[in-house]
Chains A and B, each alone.
Chain A
Amino acid sequence: MTVLLVALGAAVGAPLRYLTDRAVQARFGSAFPWGTLTVNVTGSLLLGVVFGAAADPAVSALVGTGFCGAFTTWSTFGYETVRLVRSGARRAALANVALSVAAGLGAAWLGFAVAHLLAN
């Protein structure tokens, strides 16, 4: 049952990452990886909410492990950062790492705090 929920969440999360990345690029251009930053920060916020609300195991599997896991990505983030370094844009690469980690942590903390507050 848990495996099915994880799979279902992933089946929605992965294509939604592709569509979101695409939509952000279409609007803001693709020189800096804003699309990947958007999915990673949004997914971190949502996972923070799931944990903060102490959601039951089924919801954690569906939304946390499945959806948020497939919606966010380390491989794309890592590849884009290395491409920035290799193309000489070291400052942009550093900014991408710092911004992604800081905004991801802030978003997860915010989601956790708000959900925790509402759940108690």
Chain B
Amino acid sequence: MTVDHIPSVADRRGSAPAPGPVTSRPHTSIATRRHRAFYMFASPWIIGFALLTIAPMAYALWLSFTTFDGISPRWHYVGFGNYRELFSDSQTWKSLGRTGLFAITSVPLSIIAGLGLAVLVNRPLKARGLFRTLLYLPAVVPPVGAGIAFKQLFDQNSGAANGVLNVFGIDALGWLADPYARYVLIMTVLWTAGNIMIISLAGLQDIPRELLEAARIDGASAWRSFRSITVPLLSPVLLFQTVTGVIASVQTIMPLLLAPDPTPAGITALPQSNYLYMMHVFAEYFAFGRYGYASALLWVLFVLILVATGLIFKATSGVVFYNVDPEAKK
């Protein structure tokens, strides 16, 4: 059999391993053809991943050992200099601490909120679809829109938040400055809990009705069956939400969008509590043009995320319950 229908791209792929022994298949030629076809189909991602992910990361790794600032013609290799500086830079540690605090508060809160909403809108309600849509809506609002909306809402003078406090006789708070800025940041995350709601909802609807019915016959309370059936069956979804939530919270640019001055130079003037690790990277990168140092910061962050993700998986390995469905989970 010929391979004339398959462009030669597959043949030119250097990283494609030679088709291995194909003993288990009745028609070797068909198997070979499928191997080549697989690499032809996977090639956009393989090439893209190599050029647009691996290459930039390798470049960043190289830069992290230099004093490159993007402008000066003279820059040099400094070995682990940037990394040494990073470890003695109090801003690194402080911003890392704030980022960790932000992640461990905002992620569980938004997962609880999203799951709570999912349980609510999973009930037989009138206008259920409308509630679902309206609660999901903030999740599609682009970050810039959300940033401006929250800036108006929490403005010290003209914001509705202080207007409401005023009704109760409470003095206006400086929401967007310390110490309250961190709470506004968490609220921006909670505002998009509809995202988690939608995915949890799909998970809820997959729980076999018979299980819940059986629990009810056995006299289990609603809370008990939620705890003993719903949560364990939903645990893979919750794990997915935790991992993606942590990664998203580490990368949030919301502090920048909430800043009075959203330019790179304004990053350094952020309220202390919202000066997260990524803001520190931006400041070093844009405000000070220290590309080498910022690259070192990014690589440290990358390693920390890998470690954190690994720890999350490890910590939950005994708790997360995978439904035995060999086709769906691979």
Are A and B interaction partners? no
Residues of A whose CB lies within 8 Å of any CB of B are none
